[in-house]
Amino acid sequence: MNTRKIINENFIKPFCAKDRKNIGIELEFPLLNLKKAPVEHSVALGLLEYMIKNHSFRVAETDSRGKLAFIINKDGDVLSFDNSYNNFEFSMEKCENLLDCAKRFYKLYDIVQNFLLPRSHTLCGTGTNPFKEHIKSDFVSFPVYEMIHEFLGNFCGGAYHTYTDFPAYLSSVQTHLDVKEDELAKSLTLFANLDFVRALLFSNSPAFLGADGFSDCVCFRDYLWEMSGFGSLGKNTGKICSDFSSISDIEDLILERKMFNRIRNGKYETITPVTISEYFNNDDSDENDIGCYLSFCNVEVTRRGTLEVRSDCAQPVSEAFCASAFNLGILYAKEKATQLLDEFLNNNIPKEILESPEKNKILRDNVIYEYKLPASESEVQKLLMALVALAEESLIKRGLGEEKLLNPLFARAEHITCPALIWKQLLKDGISIETIIKKFSSADEMVSHLAF
């Protein structure tokens, strides 16, 4: 079986001859029961039923028990619970104008909150669930989620953490960017190298209560992904620590990724992880098995023909689109962004780190675990402000008004801060967690700014 051909047809061919300029956004948020108890199924499923009956959604898919799983409206926007009833997702239909997508989202968010709040539930703009100690895993009975839950359950303790149910408690914003084939290698390299920058700006995942040794952590999500069973898959998870000069380089990377599941007789089954290059040289494989391949890297080349930036935490709701706006702006100014980043790295980062094959991991880990700056405050501030200004300039040139969504980042860059640090400081100042949740859940500031 020609494995490289399988990779090319599934991961590279979708990027060929692209003439569209679409953005796809997936926004996840923890669903909280304000009574500090598990999410009530009657509320969670009642929300989907309410959206069908009153707001022109229809059923897209049900779970293995016949319960609502995914619902969709005429715009193509999908509402669902990702993995668990503790994690609500807005999968916004791809669009050419990120501002239009944001306006659709905030209208939906308002409707959803108006249903949840009278029932003592709320969505919250954080990457880890602040009520984790009060709730249960509560996984959705959907085949792929059940398979993942089974796989992760095999890795507990020792080299792995004990939060085997962690997908139930994490939320992110994932940005899908259209990239032309001849720009894919350069774009993947840039976004992989920017991983520590996005950690500085977007970290919003404090560690759970009782997670000893992580008091300074601002992105506990990284730890949970990389030190779980997914970490056993090697290059399927975490930071990308490679530079790419060609499509062949990208294919080589994917060939080193691992298969750990497949569908047989209509059902998922987990298998001993094996590299893709080995898997498809096995007589028991089928080229269609590539459809079951799952990878959880911070930046991904997807079968949808998109470059997906997936390491950004869910943001405070009024700032929900700032990460996607930043990523979009940088994409359209990638030459200048690459230049700014290279100058910073070459002038400020020790040679032993620059030459390390794990450079991107080292730089991001220093940020997420201790918020340790990679250089002096003035140099980091200079880099962050330059990149945010560049993203703004790039979006202004697009002429769609999308630069409005970047506004929160100027203060973050100037003060070298992120939402997780703000959350921690509010707690330190004696602000109640209920008040902080309300602040991180409010969309009022952005809705007012967008002038609906």
May I ask the CATH class of domain 3-445?
Answer: alpha beta
Predicted local distance difference test score (pLDDT) of residue 247: 96
CA atoms within 13 A on the CB side of 209: 9
Listed as ranges, residues in the chain with pLDDT below 70 are 17-18, 446-452
Predicted local distance difference test score (pLDDT) of residue 447: 60
> CB atoms < 10 A from the CB of 201, how many?
26
Listed by start position, the domains of the chain span 3-445
**Exposure b/e, 343-375, CB count within 10 A at least 16 = b:** ebbeebbeeeeeeeeebbbbbbbbbbbebebbb
Q: How far is residue 413's CA from residue 392's CA, in Å, rounded to a whole number? A: 13
In which element (H, E) is residue 452 found? none
Predicted local distance difference test score (pLDDT) of residue 450: 63
What are residue 262's DSSP bridge partners?
269
Tokens of 158: 């020792």
Share of the chain above pLDDT 90, in %: 94
For residue 357, give every residue at least 6 positions away whose Cβ sits within 8 Å of its Cβ, in sequence order, or none. 241
Predicted local distance difference test score (pLDDT) of residue 452: 47
CA atoms within 13 A on the CB side of 342: 9
Q: How far is residue 102's CA from residue 303's CA, in Å, rounded to a whole number? A: 25
Q: What is the pLDDT of residues 245-274, one digit of tens each?
A: 999 999 999 999 999 999 999 999 999 999
Q: How far is residue 255's CA from residue 258's CA, in Å, rounded to a whole number? A: 8
- Nearest to 164, CA basis, from 137, 204, 131: 137
Tokens of 264: 């047989």
Give how far Cα 284 sits from Cα of 1, 271, 277, 351, 354, Å: 11, 12, 14, 47, 42
Q: How far is residue 120's CA from residue 136's CA, in Å, rounded to a whole number? A: 17
